[in-house]
Amino acid sequence: MTNRALLCFFFTLTLLTISATASDSAEPTNGEEEKALTGLAMDFYKDTCPQAEDIIKAQVKLLYKRHKNTAFSWLRNIFHDCAVESCDASLLLDSTRRSLSEKETDRSFGLRNFRYLDTIKEAVERECPGVVSCSDILVLSARDGIVALGGPHIPLKTGRRDGRKSRADLLEQYLPDHNESISVVLDRFAAMGIDTPGVVSLLGSHSVGRTHCMKLVHRLYPEVDPALNPDHVPHMLKKCPDPIPDPKAVQYVRNDRGTPMILDNNYYRNILDNKGLLIVDHQLATDKRTKPYVKKMAKSQDYFFKHFSRAITILSENNPLTGEKGEIRKQCNVVNKLH
């Protein structure tokens, strides 16, 4: 090789090395890629409030030990907040003279225990004032509440910011009702990117908690719905003796009499046996689009948890406010300008 050729070879090699080095240095880390895509990332507060998730987890355990029904509430919260346009804790805002709270609408009937989210927020604020959003606390309390109920641990990203307005006027547009057709339910969830097995798994949340008689008396009066398992009807009538129940009365039926405090796949066996309390439960077990997944989840809890974890993850990342959008509320029930 001549001196000139040798010089050209080394010059080309040097350029390639510099190019590769520049490319490597510009390569984003996994965390940077996550933030670039959604603005969310795993362990978002590792530098600004490294104890945040541990504090939330400890508070969830403590509150669940004292008040078992808190976990049901936290599980419902993630659906009622994140499914309505954005996962931004708008659900937690109180009514003002100009705006009705989402908490006070008919679609939010039965939601409660919001004061315990305030308790968690106060604990986090003592450690890191003004850093962790109410929307992240809402999501992480649901995650840890699922574990308390015997469900899977679901790694969820953080970095959400809080919205500044109630979306009470949009609830019926986004939240499917328990009496809606299964087609409407599937369409509403599909708009968030949740597929059919994901919808079936999310409705597995009906494995825990209870349903107020207000939501099911139409299946008992004036005549009993023939689709109901006749062996289950006497129990329902005993718990719901009034055709027009008092919405403020403690009149309810456990969603799952067998394992009412455990998030498991017993729900699917119940609805295949026509013991589902709500119309949507019955449709889930009979519609040709959903029944195959109901059967699979009835047979395999692992299959149920797999799709449930994926659906909760998608739900928790629905159109979050990140970056400079929104705010970090000082109190979860009011926006900062009114605080």
What's the token pair of residue 167? 């979306």
Which string of DSSP letters, residue by residue, matches 117-168?
A: HHHHHHHHHHHSTTTS-HHHHHHHHHHHHHHHTT-------B--BB-SS--G
287 is in an annotated binding site: no
108 neighbors 80 (Cβ within 8 angstroms): yes
165 neighbors 90 (Cβ within 8 angstroms): yes
What's the token pair of residue 144? 């840890």
- 161 burial (CB, 10 Å; 0-12 / 13-18 / 19+) is buried
256 is in an annotated binding site: yes
232 is in an annotated binding site: no
What's the token pair of residue 42? 């795993």
Per DSSP bridges, beta strands 210-212 and 252-254 are: antiparallel
264 is in an annotated binding site: yes
85 is in an annotated binding site: no
Of the candidates 99, 98, 102, the residue with the CA atom closest to the CA atom of residue 88 = 102
Distance, CA of 45 to CA of 173 (rounded, Å): 33
Q: What is the DSSP code (8-state) at residue 278?
A: S
43 is in an annotated binding site: no
Handedness of CA 57, 58, 60, 61 (dihedral sign): positive
The total of other beta-carbon atoms located within 10 Å of residue 128's CB is 15
Distance, CA of 294 to CA of 307 (rounded, Å): 12
Active-site residue set: 80
176 is in an annotated binding site: yes
Of the candidates 336, 330, 337, 331, the residue with the CA atom closest to the CA atom of residue 130 = 330
259 is in an annotated binding site: yes
Binding residue ranges for Ca(2+): 81, 84, 88, 90, 102, 256, 259, 264
Q: Which residues are annotated as a binding site?
A: 81, 84, 88, 90, 102, 176, 206, 256, 259, 264
Annotated binding site for heme b: which residue ranges? 206
Known binding residues for substrate are 176
